[in-house]
Each structure stands twice: as C-alpha cells, then as structure tokens.
Structure 1
C-alpha cells in the first residue's frame, strides 16, 4: 500500500527537514503571532507550485491536486509556540526570543508536513483525489482549529489525519489506537466574595481565604466520590488569588482550574458539581460564589477505520516493531474540532531518546526532540494520504 518513492524522497530530504525545523525552533511565535512562520510556509508552497490561501490572521490552507478524481484527505500540523523560557542554552538552534520557545513540538509538525507535501507533489499525478494541507495557528489556546474550520479548512474533506511528536515514547515508535486519545479540556473560574476586615477581628468578617481553601480541599471528592472509577477524570485547581495584605482578612478569592475527561456525561456531571460545591461551601461560611465554566476542546477520539489504516501504513512503511500502544492522555488537543466534520485519527510519533536528552515533558523548558523522528513523521503524513486516496 505504501509508495516506495515517498520513502526515498523523504529520506533524501532529511537534512532540509531538520534545517526547516531548526529555523522554526529559533524563531518561535505565540498563538496568533505566527507571521514569520506563515510567510515561510507560503513561500515554500509557492516554490512547489501548490495553491494555497492565507487564513486570518495567521495560518495557511493549501491543496495538492491529484491527477485522478477521488476523495479529499486533510493533513494537519499546528505551528504555534509557548511562553516558556528555553533552558537548552547549549543547542545551536536555541530560541532567539526570550521567554518564548517551541516546547511542544509544533516546529517539528510544521516541518514534517512541508516535506511530506513536497514529496506528495512529486507523485501528484498518481494521486486519486486531493490532499488538503492545514497549517494551523493557535493550538495552544484551543482557538486555531475553530478559526480555520470557519475559513474553509474542512470544506469537502472526507478524512483528516494529524500527528503529534511525543517525547514520552521512544523515537520512531507510532501509536494510533481506535478510541479516546486526548481528553476534553475545560477551564473553570470561581470567585468567592466574603467580608473583609482587620486580621485582629475575624469575628467581624467572612474570610474568603477560608472559603476558597475549603472549596479546593473538598472539590476533589467530585472525582473521587461521585464519578464511576472506570470513567477517568482529572480536576485540578492551578491558581488561587486571595488577599491583599498580611493583616487584612480577605474579602475576595479567585480560583482557576481545569477539568479533563473522555466521557461527555462525566464532563456534564463535573460542571454541575463544581457549581454545587461552590454555592454550598460559600453558603456554609456566609459568603457568595460566582462560577464561570468554559468549554474548551472535546476529547480526541480516533475513528476505528482511520486508526487501523494508520497502523497498517506504519507496519508496511517501517515494520511491525514501530507499533506502540500509548495510553490515552489527559492532555487536550483542538484536533478534536476537525473530527466533528470528518472521520479521522491522530497519531503519536515517538521522539524520546535518553542518549540525546529528549525525554523531557512537553511544555518544559528543557523539551527537545530527537530529530531522527522527523523522517518518520513526514513519511507517515505522506504515506497515509497516499494510502487513503488509493484505497478510496
């Protein structure tokens, strides 16, 4: 099912692939600021003669026209960086922008898709259909996919495929299992209002710090005591702002956190319980509570036929030994929004190598990838598109 020329072409362009990835890594751009990255992609597509459209304010949607009629398969790569200070100061391609770095691998994703596109252009007359290329901004704030879909990224698409470099998996390993892959990711905010006053006169006050602390301690029982243990979920309070001075009893407290799960009913239940706990705990102390619950990304659930095709392509391209089963992660991914418009799947490509110190967690200042994984990802993009269109 695989195309031997795609493998050869990508292998022969490995140096360029690494060079492109390093260029992106040195010039990281935060969500909705990806101007240089977008300009580079456009120029690269111009050189290949691929038609494209810049999306607003950043991003690119392109199409490789096949020589034969058929379906349309979309390949997606995200391209935004994070507000993280890079700690890999000894790298020759370290971030040149203070406080910003590609700490999640999006530089690799974009580079891999560009080289995959270059390979697919070489065999475009053999393609039975079209390949849509989606270079997406703003994944880290879960806004980019929605914006590009509104601008036509999924118009006429029959199937969609994405890749994420994964430092927790050994280099070259590929995981794409049918079913849940990434969790839904929501944000909640709770504002407690008490009655402030002098720290020496607590009897005259309603201490918002006590109220907020009680909520943080008790809300964990939503997961541990009200949800079926066979339906995994995470509720994390990551931020609490309370008080103004050491001897002033706080009148206001603000809490922010996140909810992660795979099941829609579990998601609804946790939302309702957060509101219930906030209101009841506030009432217990004589305070008030206001809850804001923001739906982020849905769970990424790999459609079975698409995921099986990824596994088949991986076996034929790289051998049985590359197949890996990575357990679902509570991380979030706005790739889920594409799956609302067409069936598809999202694969993980391992880039962890202890000898190269590339096993650091995503979003860490020491995050880096084993660049040997780039050819694996680029070929997987290209071979999946070829195989999907060929079988269709």
Structure 2
C-alpha cells in the first residue's frame, strides 16, 4: 500500500523539514494576516514546479497532477499562529514577534505538507489522479476553511485528509478512529439589564451582578440534568463583565461562554435552554435578558472508510504499534467545513516527549513539539494520498 519512493524522499528531506518548521515558528502571523507565510509557500511551490493559486486574503491552493487519470484527494495544512507570548524563549527558533506564537503546531502542519508535496512530485509518473494541497489560513478563528471552500478549494475533490500535531500523545503515535473526533464549538453571549443605583440603596435597584451570578450558577444544570450523560457536552462561561465601581449597583452585565457538542440534537437543546434560563432568571429579578448564540465549527466526524485507510497506511508505513486509541476531544477544528464538502478524516500525530519538554498543552506559551514527529506527519500526508488514489 505504501510507496517506497515517498518514504525515501521524506527521509532524505528530514533536515530540510526541521528547518522549514523552525523558520515558520520564528515568524508567526495571526489569522488572515499570513501574508509572508503565504508568499513563502508560493516561493517553495515555485521551486517544486507545482502550479497554485492564492486565496483571498491569504492561503494557497495547489494541485499535483499525476500522469494518469483518477480521483482528487485534498491534503490540508493550516498556517496561522496565536496571540500568545512565547515563554520558552531559550530555543533558537523562538518567535521573533512579541505577543505572537505558533502555540498550536500549525507551523509543523505547513512544513509537513510542503515536504509531503516535495515527495509526491517524485512519483508523479506513478500517480493516478490529483493531489490538492490546501494551505489554510485562519483556523484559530474558525473562518479560514469556510473562506477557502467559498473560493473553490473543494471543487472536484473526492476525499479530504488533515493532520494535527498532538502534544498529549507520545511522539510518532497516530490516532484516527471512525466517528467523532473534534466537537462543534459555539459561542453564546448574554446581556442582562437591571437598574443601577447607589450601593447603599439596594431597594431602589435591580442588581445585574446578582442576576448574572444566578445565571452562571444555574446554567450548568442544563448539562447535568437535561442532557443524556452518554451524549457528551460542555458548557463553559469564560467571561463575565459586570459593574463600574465598588459602591454602584450594576445596571448591566455581559456574560460570554462556549458550548461544545458532537450531535445536533444536543446542540439545539442547549441553545434553546440558554435562552430559556436567561429569560427566567432575568424575570425572577425584574431584569431583562438578551441572548446571542453563534454557531461556530461543526463537529469533525471521520468517515469510516477513510479513517480505516489512515490506520492501514500508518501501520504499514511505521508498524502496527504506531496506532494509538485517542478519545474524541471537546476541542474544535474548522476542518469540519471541508468534511461538509467531501468524505475524509482527520488524524492526530503524537509529538509529546517528556525528555524534550513537549507535553505542554496546545495554546500554552511553553508549547513545543518533538521535531522527530515531523517526518511521521509528512509521510502520513503523502502515503495517504498515494494509497487513496491507488486503492
């Protein structure tokens, strides 16, 4: 199932792969600001002779056309960084830009996909069909995949595959199970309006701080008492903005939070319940409530046939012991918008190594990857494309 020429090409490019990742890591760019990263990718593809087109405002779509007719498989690598201060500044490839850091591994994804593309060009004469490369911007704000789809990224695509470096898994391990992988992620905002006044005269006021506090305490019962325990769901209140001064009873309170689910019925129920709870709590105190519910990413559900192919490819390329049973995460991924257009799967490649201090959580200022995992990811990209087009 695997192609030995791909394996050899990845091995020969391992040093370059690490250099690419370090360059990208040191020059992070935020969502839809990846101008230099986009230019760098285009320059690299020019060197490989791979035709491409830029998407607006950032991002790249490229096609490797095989010598034989066949289907089209898309490989996706995201490339945006986060507004995070890098704490492990002792590494030689530390971010050069204050307040910005590749704290999630997208630098790794981009570099792995570039080297996978390089390896695939060496077997164009054997390739049946087309490999589409999607260098995606703005994953961190869940807007990049939708923007690329609108600009034709998935036109003619029969299957799509993505990878995420995963610090919570041991280096080299690969996880890709059929079914749910990443959760849908939504945002809710609740604005309570009371009646402000002097802190010494509460009887003339409606305390928005009290209303908001009651809502925060009670809203968790939506999960604990109205949702089937076998239907995973998380509701988190992450922000509460209330009051203006220590001796003024608050007139306004703003609450923001997130909801994570895997199935639409649970998602719909929680959305409806948030409005019901907000209205009920506000009415109890004589206040008013306004609710805004914003649907973000869809759940990432791995197609069974595609996920099984990932497992077969990984086992043949790296040995059966490489497979890892990672449970679905309540984290979110806008790769889901590609899966809305074609079947496919999303794999995790482990990069956690306690001896290299790479087990930090994603989005943490100390986040780093074990660079030994890069070759695993690059080869998995390329071998999956080969296997899919030749199955």
> 1:173: which partner in 2?
173
Q: 2: CA distance between counterparts of 1:151 and 1:76?
A: 15
1:5 counterpart = 2:29: no
- Cα deviations by residue, 1:241-286 (Å, 9 ceiling, x for unpaired): 0000000000000000000010110000000000000000000000
Q: Which runs of 4+ in 1 moved over 3 A?
A: none
TM-aligned CA deviation for residue 89 of structure 1: 1.1
Query: What TM-score do the two structures reach when normalised by structure 1?
Result: 1.00
> 2:78: which partner in 1?
78
TM-aligned CA deviation for residue 9 of structure 1: 0.7
Task: Write the mapping of 1:193-232 to structure 2, written as runs, cut at 5 A.
Answer: 193-232=193-232
Q: 1: CA distance between counterparts of 2:246 and 2:121?
A: 65
- Cα deviations by residue, 1:270-306 (Å, 9 ceiling, x for unpaired): 0000000000000000000000000000100000000
> 2:310: which partner in 1?
310
Q: 2: CA distance between counterparts of 1:89 and 1:107?
A: 17
- Cα deviations by residue, 1:190-223 (Å, 9 ceiling, x for unpaired): 0000000000001100000000000000000000
Q: 1: CA distance between counterparts of 2:39 and 2:147?
A: 18
Structure 1 unaligned blocks of 5 or more? none
> 1:187: which partner in 2?
187
* RMSD of aligned alpha carbons: 0.3
Q: 2: CA distance between counterparts of 1:343 and 1:57?
A: 27
1:346 counterpart = 2:346: yes
Q: 2: CA distance between counterparts of 1:258 and 1:125?
A: 49
> 2:332: which partner in 1?
332
SS, match of residue 292 in structure 1: strand
Q: 2: CA distance between counterparts of 1:269 and 1:125?
A: 53
TM-aligned CA deviation for residue 95 of structure 1: 0.4
SS, match of residue 124 in structure 1: coil
SS, match of residue 115 in structure 1: helix
Q: 1: CA distance between counterparts of 2:275 and 2:8?
A: 57
TM-aligned CA deviation for residue 37 of structure 1: 0.4
> 1:374: which partner in 2?
374
Task: Write the mapping of 1:115-194 to structure 2, written as runs, cut at 5 A.
Answer: 115-194=115-194
> 1:87: which partner in 2?
87
Q: 1: CA distance between counterparts of 2:99 and 2:256?
A: 23
TM-aligned CA deviation for residue 224 of structure 1: 0.2
Q: 2: CA distance between counterparts of 1:193 and 1:131?
A: 54
TM-aligned CA deviation for residue 352 of structure 1: 0.1
TM-aligned CA deviation for residue 125 of structure 1: 1.4
Task: Write the mapping of 1:94-113 to structure 2, written as runs, cut at 5 A.
Answer: 94-113=94-113
> 2:233: which partner in 1?
233
Aligned positions, number: 391
Q: 2: CA distance between counterparts of 1:169 and 1:130?
A: 32
SS, match of residue 370 in structure 1: coil
> 1:279: which partner in 2?
279
Query: What TM-score do the two structures reach when normalised by structure 2?
Result: 1.00
Q: 1: CA distance between counterparts of 2:29 and 2:202?
A: 49
> 2:67: which partner in 1?
67
Q: 1: CA distance between counterparts of 2:56 and 2:336?
A: 21
Q: 1: CA distance between counterparts of 2:40 and 2:288?
A: 52
> 2:35: which partner in 1?
35
SS, match of residue 111 in structure 1: helix
Q: 2: CA distance between counterparts of 1:8 and 1:306?
A: 25
SS, match of residue 125 in structure 2: helix
TM-aligned CA deviation for residue 63 of structure 1: 0.2
Structure 2 unaligned blocks of 5 or more? none
> 1:53: which partner in 2?
53
Q: 2: CA distance between counterparts of 1:177 and 1:54?
A: 33
Q: 1: CA distance between counterparts of 2:320 and 2:254?
A: 51
Q: 1: CA distance between counterparts of 2:289 and 2:28?
A: 40
Q: 2: CA distance between counterparts of 1:46 and 1:13?
A: 17
- Cα deviations by residue, 1:142-182 (Å, 9 ceiling, x for unpaired): 00000000001000000000000000000000000000000
